[in-house]
Chain A
Amino acid sequence: MIALRPGAALPPVTRFDRDGPLILSVHVQKTAGSRFGRLLRHAYGDALGLYYGKDDPRTHAVLRDVHVSALDAAALEAVAAAGVRVLHGHMQTRVLWKAVPDPARYWVWVREPIEHTVSHYHFIKSLPRETGAMVASVHDEIASLEAFAATARFQNLQSRMVPPAPLEKLGFLGVTELFAPMLPLLGLHDRAMRGNVNAAKPLVDIATRRALSVLLTEDLALYSGALEIALRRLGTRERRRRGIGARIARLVRR
């Protein structure tokens, strides 16, 4: 997947372009996607379309009757024809990929996988059972965090939401823990906006985290790669070497 040589440049991030093709911003649950969506709305106005299912009032009018499994080329063309340039929401990458097999047109945020699973579990448990069938099944059938992480629907969820392409070729691969520093890569800036933070989430012990790590190997590998790409894009390490002494040391090494 990724095999960049030392010093090799990363491909550029795909930024918003009013005249460009539709960008697909896949909102993985509990990765600051709600907050990101609000920032996108503030920056792009009606050029942002949302998709949160066919019955959700937030979903763009053109897609209101389209099931998540039916987001095909025609549906995406229709929303683009309505002036949308970024479509953000809970979409399935495996469905979108059939219509748009170009990694440069995807934006995705990923989060540290163990805490992501903890957060996702407590978020669903905090919702009323009446919210929907999925929530009801978690309430009724899943008794523990470990059982939740071992459920096919939730295990390694983030890996399934990332396009099947080298990570560095994605239009944008964000890391939730670096949310504010990464926004300028897209020409955006953080603002005090609401997200759906779960304030009641407990701090989970090391033994439980270790048990979860065994179940989340794909997501842990993905996160590790995403974090390294993020640090290279942000030039975090470069900044540490900018002093005069460091410059002289570099010259001596040459």
Chain B
Amino acid sequence: MRQKRNDFNYRVGKVIVCAVVLFVLIGCVYTPYDPNGMNGALKNAAPSLAHPFGTDNFGRDVLSRVMKGAGTTFFVGLCTVAIGGIIGTLLGAVTGYYGGLFDEILMRLNDGLTSFPSILLALVFVSILGPGKYNIILALGIIFIPSFARVVRSEYITQKQMDYVKNAKLMGASDFRIMFVHILPNTRPILLSSLTIGFNNAVLAEAGMSYLSLGVQPPDASLGRMLSEAQAYLFSAPWVALAPGILIVLTVLGFSMVNEDAG
């Protein structure tokens, strides 16, 4: 049963998430100014009616760049979660359902992967693959696999002992069908919450990678990239950091609040 306090979190979270998503979607088709268009006359201009969040050191409109950059960040986040989620779920399902030696080996590999800090690992991947949006997605995606695999695996271990699984075996369903048609829907609550948590982490990780200038390359905007560029002018033009910072906070907060109730 949903409790009152959580219910409040859920509603507020939903409003925040919807607002952020709407903002990003609008950014895909319309921005007030060209996000990469420079204006030498308006370097580091303070927020005004014409530029609600000011301009950066090249005179680019911060609002437009955030709208466009959030899109990039979200894209990276979604792809990362998709890669990690799909592969992780597959691995988790197979290892949890079959168990045995195969499970042992994969899970020890998993442990190995988790024992490194994720940013460090991503750095290693990027240094091999080279920087760039798609490489970041690949690197983060691989790093996100273990957490999904672990969660899904433990759920499969519980579920495979249920009588409905025995029933499915008795009616002659194949292992594949039992895993993905019978059991998978039952992992939905836990899978959904790990997906939202994963998305949050992916957004943060992208921001972190881009901040270290390993992610999205200039002149394209991403939230992390913008923060990184704003750092140099933090005292003279703090508004440049403000908009991307607020958006990251809102995104993570919104998804966390929704997620608290999803499980």
Tell me, yes or no, whether A binds B: no
Residue numbers of B with Cβ under 8 A of A are none
